[in-house]
Each structure stands twice: as structure tokens, then as C-alpha cells.
Structure 1
């Protein structure tokens, strides 16, 4: 650790806080109707404070609004939230500062270490961040007065930064919406309306979409018949009578619920205008050895773009490359995904990697006679996404596509010349949009870096001026140690005495609220009841139980106090007339 600022000290988190490791109450005690104690699990964590959406009538472990909550289990391990007065499940631990006013100082100091904490959970046998790991985290401690100034400055700077980030994210969302509107306009005719006007004025005669589709279908049948004749000749057979009737004609789409298209356009099914091919299943026998080729996976296909930084390899068997190799212009569609918004996302293969093949979770569509990018644009537009999503839904709740499902997808077919014109206009507009999106993305990255720099400066003693009159952190640490040692010396209180104390506290809580006669911060009310850091768990739980009873009797008013940005600071209480 680098040299500390004057008056600062180093300490472990275990020296600065105690820990309440969460425990799940019985499932039968949980409800969503507001009955009992608010109950928080990792799933309720938000940007800064947890959301309350579940309650329990049998709480086992409690958090406080002065705690720092940390997720200790799963993919979100290490995520931090400010505490709340609630029960906590096993996925949550409450970090309880040893002294009043240290909550935000610890919260902000731990924020940059989320990934480090998450790695600690993966390194444990149980996949959790243990109390031992939490206790051993090394931190720095500023004098209490300086802690207050640091937190105030952080709140000011980060609030401004958060406001800027919110504006950037709003701009990002609008750009995404604009992108979708461009895609839709390109494949539903709005983008080429001026082009059509020009063609009419010029008297240009072009093949209509319907004529194009008929030509594609005629040529498709001719290719099938040519293959059949070649097969008969190879086998030395005379074609049987009416063999042409066995032609598997592609099924046209159901156009009942499809939007109206411009004059000269027509709807077709994917099967009518393309060749569809499934991919290769990865298995031990295909480990890349002697006959290995580039192997595209779902991870390589984003919506509208390829991600080719990490391309695997796979072993091909004799004759497979000729049948399965991708060619530029192929459309790759994601066949399965846990998210309905991602199912069916697709990208145009650019041919940048020679002899690439694809896995079975990607479906290859090879357009014939139409512009490949026009097909891909439709599939990635809101109209195409809607059709793909409907076909992907199953009764099991999983989302999956197949070659047969893809073949039924309707596709708008414009005249070939208009398809090409539409894609030219779209590319020009998307190029300008890409620049704007990259600018916003860069600004967001800069905001992240700025946040990291602010937090680094804060805990290096560089954010606010120091006051030589501040009590050194070493004195604070010594006082915390002394208070802990004193509590450790106290004999365990008998159960009967504890119950008497609990009853006294409950009575005093009512008295405190009556004496206040107006709003009083919840933590201040607890303090006046003698419940502060180090209080018996039973006394704390009795207070919460009494609060719940008062609430049920309509004797208690509770309001949330927020800062200028609407973020929760604390609760305040008021006793209502009986």
C-alpha cells in the first residue's frame, strides 16, 4: 500500500464493521402482499438501493438502513447496495459499520472492488463470498471529519456524473429507436418512396416484386428438375411417369396479418426465396485435428453485425465442406436463446474468413435472386423480430427456431432495382448513425473512467482538503477496538432479563414517538430507545415487531427522505392518533 495521507490509517473491513450473513426464511412465510417484514435477496439489488417487492412473516436475519448490503452468491456476487430495514436472504450479507456515519465512506470505497469480490466468490468451494473474505478486505480509514467531507464531495461529483450518464443513455436509446425506424423504412418502402417517384416520372419499366418472385420460383423448379434428371442418368434409369409432380413446392406465407406493401411489392416466404441449411453439432469426434476449418458459433453473431475476434475450429469429414461452407451473402440466424429479445438475431456473412462453417445453433439462409442485405435487414427489423419471436415461443417457456420454422417467415419482396436502391440509402444513413452511436459509447466509457478517477482520488486523500484539527483515524480505530473489547467482557444476559428489556424498549419506542410529536428520523428514534450499534438482536427485532404492529393499527406514518436526485437517505416516523 502506498504512503497514507496524514491522519489516515490502514485497517481491514473486519476491524471497521461487523457482518450479518443472510438466511432464507421458510418459503411458506413469503408473500407479495406486504404482510410482515420486507425481505431482500440479491434479485432486489438495484443501482444504489434495493427495491422492496417481497415480505416474510418469519424473518431470520435482519439488515438496517445504515448497513452496506453486498450480494455474496452467484453471478452478481460483489454487487453493493445501501442497506434497508428488512430481512435478508442467504444471497445477501449486511456490512454493519462499527461507528455512526461510516456507511457511505465504506460503500464508496468498496464500489471499485466489485469484480475483485466476485472473483473471491468463484474461488471458494461453495461459490460464495464468505465472512472470512469480507473481514480480510484491506481498506484505508480517514479521520471522521474528513470522511464526512469526502462523502459530501463524492455525492456532489457523482450526482453530476450520474446525470450526464443518464442523458447519454437516453440519447443512446433514441439512436437505437432511430436505427429500428430506418430498418423498417428500408424494408417497408418508406425509404425508397422518392426513388419510386423518380422512376414514375422517368417512365422506367422494371420487373415488379411479383414478377421477380415468379422468376425465382420458376428457376428454383428448373434447378430441381435438372438435379433429378442428372440423378436418373447417373443411375442409368429412365425417369418414371409424372416424376415432376413430386416437386416439393415451397409454401407461400400467410398474408392475413401482414402490413400493406407499396405497389409492385409482394410477400414471400423465406423458403420461396432462399436455400436453408442447419449447422454442425460440436462433439468429441469433431475435435480439430487434420481436417480443421473455422467454426462460427452463436457468440460470433450479433444483431446486424459479426463478432469475429474469437473464432473456433472444428473437424470436417469428407464431402462436408462443399455442402456446408459459407459464402458471402449468407444470412446467419441464431436458432436458440434464453432471451426472447435475442432469439432470431442475425447477421450477414461477409466472406472474410475462407471456408468457414457454422454450428447447429445457427441456421444459414442463402437468398437466391434477392438482395441478401435486404432479407437480413427485414429479419432484424421490428417486423421481422415480431414474426421470429412468435414462431420461437413454445409451451415449455423455451425459445427456439428450426429450419422448418425459419422457412415460414414472411419476407417483403420489392423489385430487385428497388431493393438495391433501398440498401444504398440505408447504408448511407446507418454510416452517419454509427458515428453518433460510437460518440455516445466513447462518452460513456469516459464517464466510467472519470468515476474511477474520482473514487481513486477520494481514497488517496486527494479529493478534499485536510484539516489538522481532525481527530486521527488511529484514535477512531482504538476507540472501536475498546468498545468491542468492552462488549466482549459483558456476561451473557439471561433470557428472562432479555425479555424484560425487550418489553421496556417497546414501551419506550411508543413514548419516544409520542414525545417527538412530529416527524423523527427512524435511526434517531431507535437511538433514543437505546438501540444503537452493538444492541442485542432480540431488542432490535422487538423494535421492528412493534413498528409493524403500530403500522397495522394505523398508528404509524412512514415517509422516505430523499436527496435532490431522488435517492433514498433514510426513513422518518410519526405516531398517529389512536
Structure 2
């Protein structure tokens, strides 16, 4: 939403720097294990606490140790506002704020609270309602206007606080501030109840989705269908699969012998045809293992994955080694490289990484075809993508496993539903005595049990699941739309509030002009008191550590350093803007390497 707002003509709009009384950066301090009388243990609020602030109110803050002298100026009190000045990312600008209230301070009340140096403490005169101010900061951030005050890179953004402090703050009379806050809290309470109900329904649908899958793979979804249709038992199906594979192998041997005879007749020119190898089967489940698994319907069987895939040496295949598929091999067009981007997004056509025909032939064992099941081993572990009929020819990358399922005997879509179910995860936990599927590899997949039933029943199960899931999808879409409307309504309420249209004005209120005079007087008095207290403190005769420039900090290490670490060790640890200014000035001397969401800095050689 654009930040367009018309304030009441009876209000004033001073800048943030006009009304803020005290501003200071936080202190991350040292490990709490430090033994030093000059240090005291504190709870240090970080940027990561902001996400769930309304729920936790900072009770997940880290225990740290900071100097007593630092605590004197940084200890948080009720009404303080913390603003995020560094962090963020491409989808989350910095500039989020939280209000320190009684609930925050009541958690471990004997332990002082401070904020990390990635946040900044803002303290305002008591003549301003700090809840009102924080609501305005929330509104300003949500409007998107905050992006105009961003600096730094995508991986480490910083708030240009000097510029941000020039933003105009709406200043109605104090009593009107209180009325606005009271009305917003009343409306937000009703809105929160509605949002809570929507989220409850959202979670219930997730539970229902998994309950449906469990019901299906216990055989209960098609129980009546089996009674009415008497399908082929799975043990007979397994016998047919075994017989067909044996016949295929015998045919391959026959064809090989014929090829050898032709080769001999031709004077043994060229390379002798290679003898076909019989594909090695996985070790079947023992009786003890089968007894650990849930009981299946009488016509079903537990089977390992090799019984469900095509009879081919590459039907079950992990991606190539990373060294075989470096980015230097990528081309603009050719054979597609399938990775977790396609699997996690559920879109086989996503992405534009390709290899040429030479590299494709080199990695032919990793080739894909329509209806292959691709399984993600990293990111969202265990996510499955079934390649559509119009999927491009390609190969998998090292982060995937490919299964070419035999569609004559096993539905790829049934496989996807089963593999992504909590039901399978519970079976894995039973089979491995409590382990979880946080890590996945080909060996684990080859040891998992899969329910096998007749092909007709498989199709019936898939159809029933897809029907129910389409209903769930529609309901989830409705809920998502409701949540989006709730957020839009929340911003509409705030906009109305800060335009002075949410509550009536009262001519008996103290005028905003008089309020501003009181604010400025309180601010002036506070600053004078701070100055007097500072002058009374004995001078520290201890030799101060030399303040280091960025270049000097980097010279202390023979390895690249995290940008955050360089900042904290430099003379700019209290001012992120000065840090970036110096970094820009010496950028020709600096080498920056991206590592995930972090930046590593070193001196150029």
C-alpha cells in the first residue's frame, strides 16, 4: 500500500528527531560464562525475537553479559521502542519495531533487559503515548514506505537512521492519542479473534489432509470398494512382476546370444556385445520387520521400492556427484537440469538451467522422462514431483533422487501421496527406532515400506484423495483470502486512526501545540540531567582499546570474516551507517563473497 495520509489540521507533524528523547545502539556483549566484576548478565533482545513478538514478548532473548557501564545507558524500561537497524533481506526490509511493556519486563524480572547492536533503543517523553507511536511505526512499515530508508546489500540491509529520523510523526493531543489507542485495541481484538478462528480452521484442514492420507493407506478409504469388487491380491501381483522380469531377462540373454553369433559371423569386428546383467534385488523385509509395521488389509502387501519401479538399472538413481555438474557446464538451451527448485515449487517448467548433449550423454544414468518421481533430499526434505507428460528431457542434479515407477503396476501419483504423508514418516520412525526423516538419501528410500494393492484399487484411492484434496484446496484458498482481507482491514483501521477519523476530536483537549512544548521541555530537562550525571562520573583512566577501521579489522584475520563480525569489531559498531559509508569508500580494496544469506569480507590481494 502507498503511504498517502492526510493528517487532521488540529494535529502537528514534528519529525521523529524532534520528539525522541534518547537514542542508543544495543550491546551484544560477551558470553554469559565470562568471569569479570565489570560485567553483568542480561537478557539481550535480537531481531529474531520480532517475528513472534506478540506471542513471546521477548522471552526467547539470549542471556549475555555486558559491562555495567553499558547497562546504565541501555537498560530497557517500559515505553521504550526498539527499531531494527540491520538485518532483513530481499523480502523483509529492516525497520520493524517492538514496544517494551510490562509483560516484557515481567519475564525474569530480576534480569535486566537490553537489545543487540542490530537494534536501536528509542526513548520518548512521557507526554507521548508510546503505544500510539509504535502503532504508527507498524503502519509506516506495512505501507512499504520503509524501503526508501534502506541501505546495504540484499543479504545485510541497514536502516538509514539519520534519514529515517526526519520522517513526520502525527501528534494529536495526548488525550486523543489515548482514545485512538483504546479504539484500535478494541477493533484489533475483534479482528484478532477472527484471524485466530481462520488460522485454527487452516490448521484443522492440514490435520484433516494427513488424516485422510492415513485413512487411505490403512485401507479404510476403499474398504467397501474391495468388498464389492474383489480385486487381485497383491501377492499375486508380486508373482506376476517377478515372472515378467524373469521373462524379460531371459529375452535379453537370448538377444545377446544372437548378437554374439552375428558378431562372430562378421569376423569378430568391433567390440563384443556385453552380456546383460540381472538387476540385483533389494533384501526383502524380514518377518520381524513386517511385524513392526501396521497391519494391512488382507489383499495388500508391504513391498520395497525395487518391486514398484521399472526393470532397468537406472530406475532408482541418485543425482550425480557435484563435481560432475558444476555451474560452468550450464548452457542457455539444451537438456534441462532438474533440482529442488522444481520439486519444492511443484513446477517442472520452473528454472532455466541446461546442459549440452555431450554432458547429457555423460550423465545418461541420471536422465528423466515423463511420470518419473523426483524426490528432494535437501530444503523441504521428502517433497515429491511427478514429471508431467510434457516435461523437457533432462537430468537430475545431486540434490534429488529419481524413481522410474512401473506404471503398469504402481501409480506415480499414489507414490507421491504416500511419500509425502505423515503416515510414512511414522513408519520410518518405527523402522529406525525413533529416528526422523530430517535427512534423506537413496539408502533410506530403499529401506522404506510401501503398500502394494491392485492397480484398480490404486486408481480408486488416487481419485478419492484428489477429490477430497480439491475440496480442501478450495477451503484453504477461502481462508487465505480471509486472512489477507483481515490484514488489509488492519491497515485500513490504522490509516483511519492516523488521519484522525477513527475517534472524535474533543475541543477541551490540550492543543497539540502545547503538548509539543511540554515534550520539548521534558526532552531538554532529560538531556541536561544526563549531561550532569555524565560530568559527575569519574574519568576512566584505563587505556582505551584502539578503535579500528574496517581495513584494520580485516588485517587482523588471515581468513575472510563475516560482515557482521567486521562491523562489531570496527569503530562503527554503534553506527551501521558509518560502517557502510567506510565500506563504500574502500570498496576497491575489499573482496566480498556471498555465503547463503551472509557476506564474507577480506582484503583484495
> TM-score, normalised to structure 2's length?
0.70
Q: How big is the shift at 1:82?
A: 2.0
**In structure 1, C-alpha distance between the alignment counterparts of 2:60 and 2:138, rounded to whole Å:** 22
Q: Secondary structure at the match of 1:128?
A: strand
Which of 410, 415, 420 matches 1:375?
415
Residues 431-446 of structure 1 mapped to structure 2, 5 A cutoff: 431-446=470-485
> Where in structure 1 are there 5+ consecutive unaligned residues?
500-578
Measured against aligned partners, the alpha-carbon deviations of 1:113-167 in whole angstroms (never above 9, x if no partner) come to 0665578556369643364355244433323222212111110111111111111
Is residue 2:200 matched to residue 1:152?
Answer: no
Pairing 1:177–2:190 present: no
For 1:104 and 1:309, the matched residues in 2 are separated by 48
Query: Given the alignment, which residue of 97, 101, 123 partners 1:80?
Result: 97
Which secondary structure does the structure 1 equivalent of 2:170 belong to?
strand
Partner residue of 2:44?
39
State the 1:230 CA deviation.
Answer: 5.1
Secondary structure of the 2:282 match is: coil
- Using a 3 Å threshold, how does the CA distance of structure 1 residues 331 and 36 change in structure 2: closer, same or farther? same
Distance 1:389 1:301 in 2: 24
Contact 2:28–2:66, Cα closer than 8 Å, also in 1: no
Whole-Å separation in 2 of the counterparts to 1:227 and 1:132: 77
The answer to whether residue 355 in structure 2 is matched with residue 351 in structure 1 is: no
Cα RMSD of the aligned pairs, angstroms, is: 3.8
- In the other structure, the counterpart of 1:284 is 327
Distance 1:133 1:222 in 2: 78
Deviations 1:169-194 (A, max 9, x none): 11111111000011112222010111
Match of 1:502 in 2: none
Per-residue deviation, 1:2: 5.1
Matches within 5 A, 1:180-329: 180-199=210-229, 204=230, 206-224=231-249, 226-227=251-252, 236=263, 247-253=279-285, 254-274=289-309, 275-279=315-319, 283-289=326-332, 291-302=333-344, 306-307=346-347, 310-318=350-358, 320=361, 326-329=368-371
Report the CA distance between 1:300 and its aligned residue.
2.7
Displacement, 1:388? 6.1
Match of residue 123, structure 1, among 152, 162, 181: 152
CA displacement at 1:471 relative to structure 2: 3.5
In 1, the alpha carbon distance for the partners of 2:405 and 2:308 equals: 6
The count of aligned residue pairs is 481
The structural deviation recorded for 1:416 is: 1.8
Gaps of 5+ in 2: 106-112, 310-314, 539-605
Tell whether the 8 Å contact from 1:225 to 1:244 is kept in structure 2 after alignment.
no
Structure 1 residues 181 and 214 mapped into 2: Cα distance closer, same or farther (>3 Å)?
Answer: same
Segment of structure 1 superposing worse, 118-127 or 166-175 = 118-127
Matches of 2:179 and 2:280, distance apart in 1:
77
Q: Give the direction of change, closer, same or farther, for the CA distance of 1:231–1:87 in structure 2 (3 Å limit).
A: farther
Q: What is the aligned partner in structure 2 of residue 567 from structure 1?
A: none
| Structure 1 residue aligned with 2:590 | none
**SS state of the match for residue 7, structure 1?**
coil
Cα distance in 1 for residues equivalent to 2:494 and 2:115: 28
* Alpha carbons of structure 1 residues 273 and 353: separation in structure 2 relative to 1, 3 Å: closer
Cα separation, partners in 2 of 1:317 and 1:488, compared to 1, 3 Å? same
Tell me, in whole angstroms, the C-alpha distance in 2 between the residues paired with 1:285 and 1:224: 40
Counterparts of 1:479 and 1:231 in 2: how far apart (Å)?
99
Following superposition, the deviation at residue 37 of structure 1 comes to 4.1
Checking the alignment, whether the CA contact within 8 Å between 1:296 and 1:312 is kept in structure 2 is no
Q: Is 1:99 the equivalent of 2:126?
A: yes
- Post-superposition shift, 1:394? 13
Give the conservation status (yes or no) of the 8 Å contact 1:187–1:377. Answer: no
Q: Distance in 2 between matches of 1:150 and 1:67?
A: 19
